[in-house]
Each structure stands twice: as C-alpha cells, then as structure tokens.
Amino acid sequence: MKSLSLSIAAGILLHLTANAQSMEKFQPKLQAANTLSIDKLREQNLNVVRKAVEGIRENLPQQVDAYTELVDVESNGTTLIYIFEVKAGVKTDATLKEEGAQIAPRIREGICLSSKRFLEADISLRYRYISSTTKAEVLRVDVDRTQCQTGSPRRQIKRL
C-alpha cells in the first residue's frame, strides 16, 4: 500500500514538473489598477462621496460637544464637506475666527486620523464652522491626502 502511494505521488510530481515549463508564471496584480481608467476611478470616487453624504445626512443633526453640532454634509466633486454650527453665546465672529485658527491644526490632525480611507482614495475633506447666531463662516479646514502623509499636516488653513 505504501509503495502504491509513493508511486502515485511520484507520478503527480513528474507530471507537474513536466508541465511547469508550459505554465505561465504567476504575476500578482490588482484588477482595479489594470482595468479601471483614471476617469472611471474619479467617477467611482464621485459616487462614494454622494453615498457618504446620503448616509451621513440620515443621522443629522449630531451633537459633537457642548458648543458644536454637525448640522449638514454636502459634496463638491470629490470633496466631502461637513458643516458644523458653533454656539458661542456672546462671542463675536471675530473672536470665533481667532479661536478657530488656534485649534485648526488639531482639527486637521483629527481628520487625518479619522478619515484615512477617504483621504487614501483621493477624497478631500472640508470642515466648515458657522456661527449659530450670524450664520457666517468662522473657520474652514481643508484636508487632502498630501497633508496627512508626512505625519504632521501642513498648515493650510483658510483664514476668513
């Protein structure tokens, strides 16, 4: 019985060795990279952003902290735009802008950590903060994948 098993194993090994030269060499490749054009990838990202907007909007508004509420989400091409409302009591828009400029680097770092999947897919994010009393924009933080690759996001804060 042992010799029969060894004979079968040897026959299989000889067969595989003989056919190995005629077989194509395995070359791993990503299907998406070879089958999707840049235009198709961009179109796919547009759809991802649209679907994200739909999904996030279902759960709005959301309280972020004692002063901030996520009130809306929009898209502009492959940019996902979060709109926050800041309840600052008697603070002026100018004061909110100053305070926002100070905390913007931490906001950007948080975006880099929490939104890696979007950023790696070349989907940009924008966080807009508006005053609850005047409805004026008091801070905007834009982030794309290049700002998150170096460990510390570059300062690209739009001062309003």
Q: Where are the domains of the chain?
A: 38-143
124-131 β-sheet, strand order? 62-63, 68-76, 79-86, 124-131, 137-143, 157-158
- What is residue 132's DSSP assignment? T
C-alpha–C-alpha distance, residues 129 and 47, integer Å: 25
The tokens of 54 are what?
Answer: 């739909």
**How does pLDDT run across 94-143, given as a tens digit for each residue?**
999 999 999 999 999 999 998 888 888 889 999 999 999 999 999 999 99
Topology (CATH) of 38-143: GMP Synthetase; Chain A, domain 3 (3.30.300)
**How does pLDDT run across 26-74, given as a tens digit for each residue?**
454 444 445 566 677 778 888 888 998 999 999 999 999 999 999 999 9
Reported pTM: 0.68
